[in-house]
Structures are given as C-alpha cells and as structure tokens.
Amino acid sequence: MTARVLTRDTTAMVKSTDLRPLVSRRRAARVAGVSYLVMFALAIFANFGVRESMIVPDNAAATVANLTKSMGLFRLGLMAFLAIFVLDVVIAWALHIVFREVSQDVSVAAAWFRVVYAGFLGVALASFFDVQQLLNGPGYLDALSVEQVNARVMQALGSFESTWLVGLVAFGAHLVLLGVLVIRSGFASRALGFALLAAGAAYALDTIAHGMLPDYESYAGLFATVVAIPSMIGEGWLGVWLIATRRLKR
C-alpha cells in the first residue's frame, strides 16, 4: 500500500515538473532579441567588412594579396562567423519557446530549418580554415607554386559561398514559417509576419537565381537589393520587437 502511494506521488511530481517550463516566453524573447542584434553587428562586420572587402572576383592574385596583408582581420571575420553560427542555434531554440503555443508543429519545423541553416554555415566555415592554412601553414608555399596557392584559395572561397547559398534556402524556409507563426500569433503585428514571409521568399529566390541564371552576375546588384530590404526590415523589426514586447506571458 505504501509503495503504491509513493509511486502515485512520484508520478504526480514528475508530471508536475514536466509541465513547468524552465524558461519563460518573455525571457526567451529577450534572449532571441539580444542575440539577433548582436548577430546583425557581427554579420555586417564579417560579411561586408571582411569577406566582401577582401575578395576580388576573378582576380586571384589581388584576393590573395588582400588576405595576406590583412590576415589578422580575416581571422577576426572567421571568429565573427563562428559566433553567428552559435547564435543561430540559440535564436532557433528561443524562438521555438516564444511561438510554440501558437503551433507546436510549425514552431518545431521553423527551429529545425534554422538549425539546418546553421549546420550549412558551419560546414562552409571549414573553407575559411583551409584558406588560413594555405596562406600560413608551414611548408605550403614551399610545396606549391604561387599560382597553385592562389587557385586553391579561390576554390576554397568559392566553396564557402556555394555551401552558404544552399543553407540560405533552409534559412528562407525558417523565415517563411516564422512569418506564419507571427501572423497567427495574435500577440505580434501581422505586418511583421508578412515582412518575414517576404524576406524568406527573397533568400530562396536568390539561391534559385544563382543556379538558374547563366549570367547571374549581371543581376547581382538587383538580387542583393531584393534580399537586403525585406531582410533588414523583417529581421531588424523582429529583433526589436522581441526585446521590447510586453505582450508575452511570463
């Protein structure tokens, strides 16, 4: 009899503990919002301040010269990308907590798509380690000609971009599902949800254009604008809303 009572009490305690969330939705929103704003700053530095400022398309010698001259800056850019990789996983977890009461299934799917994107970014970053090894590794310059080193550096940089582009399809799907959750939530602006839908579609469209258009570079500026405007509006708005909102239950 005593054993049965203890068993019932233990089961009740376990169920009670399982139903009590460890992190509140409001706290998860703050974590996601702060992570978003930090990630924005890191992304601007890593992508525009380092990657795009150093790479000269179709000019391997100039690109390698830039990298060799500013290897310390390149390493900082690599560390910034690594931090973004970690923050993407944190944001995926936090957003799932914020929106899981809207739809558990959609929230889980959105989180998984962002985690998949983070995985692709992590794989892509291996190419940056290869670049660093090629230019600074002991014996590489002795074993390879300058032309061979330059060609391998450009190949590694191209591999980073290709892998990242594939991952951005998953990121676009994440934003589309997140937009659906925001629209259906009732506690966030529907306009924010539509902005996220537009940003997600733009990311996917850009990757598709890379694969389908033989002269993509002729339209690169247009696609950069198509991606940047809804992304900055939607994701920036989301980050601020996550920090400022008071409509979430504790």
Query: Per the domain annotation, does 205 fall within a domain?
Result: yes
Least confident window among 25-34, 46-55, 140-149, 181-190: 140-149
Q: What is the pLDDT of residues 99-126, one digit of tens each?
A: 999 999 999 999 999 999 999 999 999 9
pLDDT at 16 over 80: no
Amino acid at 177: L
pLDDT at 157 over 80: yes
- For residue 162, the enclosing domain spans 23-244
pLDDT at 17 over 50: no
The crossing angle, in degrees rounded to 10, of helices 25-43 and 71-99 is: 160
Structural domain tally of the chain? 1
Query: Per the domain annotation, does 16 fall within a domain?
Result: no
Q: What is the pLDDT of residues 32-67, one digit of tens each?
A: 999 999 999 999 999 999 998 999 988 888 999 999
Query: Per the domain annotation, does 11 fall within a domain?
Result: no
Of the two residues 78 and 57, the one the predictor is more confident about is: 78
Query: Per the domain annotation, does 220 fall within a domain?
Result: yes
Task: Tell me the percentage of the chain whose pLDDT exceeds 90.
Answer: 62
Query: Per the domain annotation, does 2 fall within a domain?
Result: no
Query: Per the domain annotation, does 4 fall within a domain?
Result: no
